Structure 1
């Protein structure tokens, strides 16, 4: 995805609609292109698909793009802010879209499109077109000095942990690692991701657990001993 997005962002812009619109076009075309490549290159059969959550960081912005029920949350000070909204079949606007197109949402161990898929958007899963679509939702968040970290994870984490709990664990681990400036060669962000993964597995999460944590604080340099 990162390669496709970089290429789409680099394409020549023919209008002056602003940088936010340019990112929206780049993300939308990237997700569509990734979906087409999965299909045309026969990367996976039509009954296979994936969610995708992507974040682009600049010095002043966090730009997120989500397709499915993976999620990005921002830990800012003592707050945990969701940057994406899960695209679930029973979300009111998604339910209306699916039913308007002649689809059905059936409660089978949770709301599922035709009783099969527990998300309403994805890359792949072409056997459920036109109800499952590869169209992302894009958000913009201005960064500030209180930003601690960014958590991007699949529903294997969010099925067993709330945003607030994940944020509190992340803040606790980051605070401890920064205070003692651990010299084990493992980044603070990786330790947070490992902790969240272990907790989700300990709670018997039954879905894929993929977690990326981005430390948003500048790295502190060790002070030389006097």
Structure 2
């Protein structure tokens, strides 16, 4: 059970942080973002293409930065941020954060597959290491490989998602290993979700994460593959590897995740760092509200519970209405919720790239 967190005033340990979060009653009941001098505009630009600075006399706040995504059909990409506008049932925000390079990649494939008259949607978050090459390859190929590798259950009653996901991740790993990405150490985590036919199927390899909000409760649909996780530690050591605490627990003192899709340049890690995903299949119910997929840039500083609280407030319009994106004439609360989560992670001092997908399950 996760310990309940309070959203408090926050400051970066290394610099005066430009954002301050406040809360009522020690829980997430109101989110106020204050713009101060020397704000890190370069790090956050593009997260919101339109920014309003308005007076807020009722709360005594001089200036408020509304988290607002504009209504354009496609947001521009630059060196600092990738922002994708989507249909009203989901939203995506991916930012460089405090890193020098962008190594995250995200993919949304609506109706990427039709089987038995049922349409399936695909969502993926990839967090690269050593560069963005493998993450970008996964973004372009993994959902296509998934369609190619579909395994039907015995008796033809449906898709065997466990076997299908494992075969797809293995093939993706093989393709990356044969690719021309150089000999440097490079790889990527992968957390993907397929929604359709009354199910949500999550496959995870690494420390990105998927969380479902069911009846107001945060339900983890994946569990981080950290080297210090007892079963992962046992697996690595049984294969002849070691986990060394060198600026955090790392396989061979190098990689901070025990599972990953890796290039041949990482070959010496492959006996210990594997690409086999853990697969979680859930039947969707009327109580399932939304799904969050995100890289560890979010989860390192925000718990499952608080993330779901934030998104729920946004989707229920209890965060300021200007925080809601307008896409094709529709209010996209999911995009606003993703933006708020990114801002919260930045405020809490996340030092990594941050990528977030929010999916409203009752609108897919």
TM-score bucket of the superposed structures, by smaller chain: 0.7 to 0.9
Q: 1:104 aligns with which of 238, 242, 252?
A: 242
Whole-Å separation in 2 of the counterparts to 1:14 and 1:43: 36
CA displacement 1:118-168 (0-9 Å, x = unmatched): 110000143311100110000111111111110001111000010000000
Whole-Å separation in 2 of the counterparts to 1:152 and 1:36: 25
Does 167-176 or 190-199 show the bigger shift?
Answer: 190-199
- Corresponding residue of 2:147: 6
- Corresponding residue of 1:196: 341
| Residue pair 1:46, 1:127 contacting (<8 A) in 2 also | no
- Corresponding residue of 1:114: 252
- Corresponding residue of 1:95: 233
CA 1:103/1:58 → structure 2, altered by over 3 Å: closer, same or farther? same
Does 97-106 or 183-192 show the bigger shift?
Answer: 183-192
- Corresponding residue of 2:202: 64
- Corresponding residue of 2:359: 214
- Corresponding residue of 1:171: 312
Whole-Å separation in 2 of the counterparts to 1:90 and 1:144: 34
Residue 150, structure 1, aligned to residue 291, structure 2: yes
- Corresponding residue of 2:326: 184
Alignment RMSD: 2.4
- Corresponding residue of 2:95: none
CA 1:154/1:42 → structure 2, altered by over 3 Å: closer, same or farther? same
- Corresponding residue of 1:223: none
Does 168-177 or 154-163 show the bigger shift?
Answer: 168-177
CA 1:65/1:113 → structure 2, altered by over 3 Å: closer, same or farther? same
Whole-Å separation in 2 of the counterparts to 1:136 and 1:213: 21
Whole-Å separation in 1 of the counterparts to 2:321 and 2:340: 18
Whole-Å separation in 1 of the counterparts to 2:342 and 2:320: 23
**Structure 1 residue 40: Cα displacement:** 0.6
Looking at secondary structure, tell me which structure has more helix per residue: 1
Whole-Å separation in 1 of the counterparts to 2:146 and 2:341: 28
Residue 33, structure 1, aligned to residue 171, structure 2: yes
**Structure 1 residue 116: Cα displacement:** 1.3
CA 1:57/1:183 → structure 2, altered by over 3 Å: closer, same or farther? closer
**Structure 1 residue 191: Cα displacement:** 1.1
SS at match of 2:257: coil
- Corresponding residue of 2:5: none
- Corresponding residue of 2:74: none
Unpaired runs of at least 5, structure 1: 220-226
| Residue pair 2:325, 2:333 contacting (<8 A) in 1 also | no
**Structure 1 residue 59: Cα displacement:** 3.6
| Residue pair 1:166, 1:196 contacting (<8 A) in 2 also | yes
Residues 67-86 of structure 1: pairs in structure 2 closer than 5 A: 67-86=205-224
SS at match of 2:281: strand
- Corresponding residue of 2:350: 205
Unpaired runs of at least 5, structure 2: 1-141
CA 1:104/1:59 → structure 2, altered by over 3 Å: closer, same or farther? same
